[in-house]
């Protein structure tokens, strides 16, 4: 019995030593890879797929056109990194730092960027389909023409971001901050923006059909010619917003704050304006407003400039 116990102890001890040796070897390889990446030496020979580079310091590194699918870069520092046309699909960069990083044309499909800092990053024409950017910081980031269809951006900060012609179909931006962001010509059908803050945002010609915007803040936003048909704007704040030529057919504006908003030439067929606040809201040359609805809106303080 004692011999068997001694044998088990020796086996366990040997196993620990093997694991420690393997761990040390992995650490040596990791450090060698990081040093090689930082120095830019022989990168073409490196195989970094699914490599563990957590917390790596890669400030200003040049990884343009590299294939890094599935790489682990959690909490890594990639400030000012050159990552043009890089493939980071399914990689994990949660809590990483990508301030001023150049990611134009990058393949970031299904990437994890939860809590990452991408302030002032260039993500023009990047593929971010089904990516996870919850709680990410994208202040003043450039995402012109980027594809974020099905992406998760809850509680993300996109204040002052350039988002022209971005694809956000079926994306989740609940509770996100988009103050003064530019979403001109954005494709956002079926997007979730409940409780989001779009104060002062530019949404000219934006496609927002069937968008979810309950309790959203759109004060002073520019929605000129935007498509909001079948959108849910219940209790949203659109005070002083520009809604000229906007399509609000079949939209829900129940309880919305529309004080001072401009609805000139807006399409309002079957729009639900029950209990909406419309003091000094301006209407004119609209389609879809019945005489009964006009009387109600006038009683609530709306102004019809074509009468």
Residue of 175, 126, 180, 170 lying closest to 149 (CA atoms)? 170
Task: For 42, list phi and psi in degrees, rounded to 5.
Answer: 50, 40
Mean pLDDT in consecutive groups of 10 residues from the start of the chain, 307 residues = 55 54 51 60 56 89 91 96 96 98 98 98 98 98 98 98 98 98 98 98 98 98 98 98 98 98 97 96 94 92 89
pTM greater than the 0.95 cutoff: no
Residue of 248, 280, 289 lying closest to 262 (CA atoms)? 280
Residue of 113, 169, 171 lying closest to 141 (CA atoms)? 113
Residue of 272, 236, 268 lying closest to 249 (CA atoms)? 268
Task: Supply angle C-alpha 53, 57, 59, rounded to 5.
Answer: 125
């Amino acid at each position: 019995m004692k011999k068997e116990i001694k044998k088990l102890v020796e086996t366990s001890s040997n196993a620990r030593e093997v694991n420690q040796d393997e761990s040390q070897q992995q650490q040596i390889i990791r450090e060698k890879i990081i040093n090689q990446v930082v120095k830019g030496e022989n990168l073409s020979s490196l195989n970094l797929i699914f490599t563990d580079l957590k917390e790596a310091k890669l400030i200003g590194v040049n990884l343009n056109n590299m294939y890094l699918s599935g790489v682990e870069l959690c909490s890594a520092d990639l400030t000012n990194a050159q990552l043009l046309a890089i493939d980071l699909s399914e990689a994990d960069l949660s809590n990483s730092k990508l301030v001023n990083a150049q990611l134009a044309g990058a393949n970031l499909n299904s990437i994890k960027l939860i809590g990452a800092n991408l302030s002032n990053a260039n993500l023009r024409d990047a593929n971010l389909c089904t990516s996870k950017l919850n709680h990410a910081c994208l202040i003043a980031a450039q995402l012109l023409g980027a594809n974020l269809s099905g992406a998760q951006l809850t509680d993300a900060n996109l204040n002052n971001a350039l988002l022209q012609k971005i694809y956000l179909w079926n994306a989740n931006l609940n509770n996100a901050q988009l103050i003064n962001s530019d979403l001109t010509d954005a494709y956002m059908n079926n997007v979730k923006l409940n409780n989001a803050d779009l104060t002062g945002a530019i949404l000219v010609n934006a496609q927002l059909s069937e968008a979810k915007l309950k309790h959203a803040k759109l004060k002073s936003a520019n929605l000129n010619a935007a498509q909001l048909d079948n959108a849910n704007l219940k209790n949203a704040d659109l005070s002083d917003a520009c809604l000229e030529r906007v399509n609000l057919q079949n939209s829900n504006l129940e309880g919305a704050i529309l004080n001072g908003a401009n609805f000139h030439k807006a399409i309002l067929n079957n729009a639900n304006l029950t209990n909406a606040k419309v003091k000094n809201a301006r209407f004119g040359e609209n389609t879809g407003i019945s005489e009964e609805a006009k009387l109600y809106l006038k009683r609530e303080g709306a102004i019809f400039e074509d009468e």
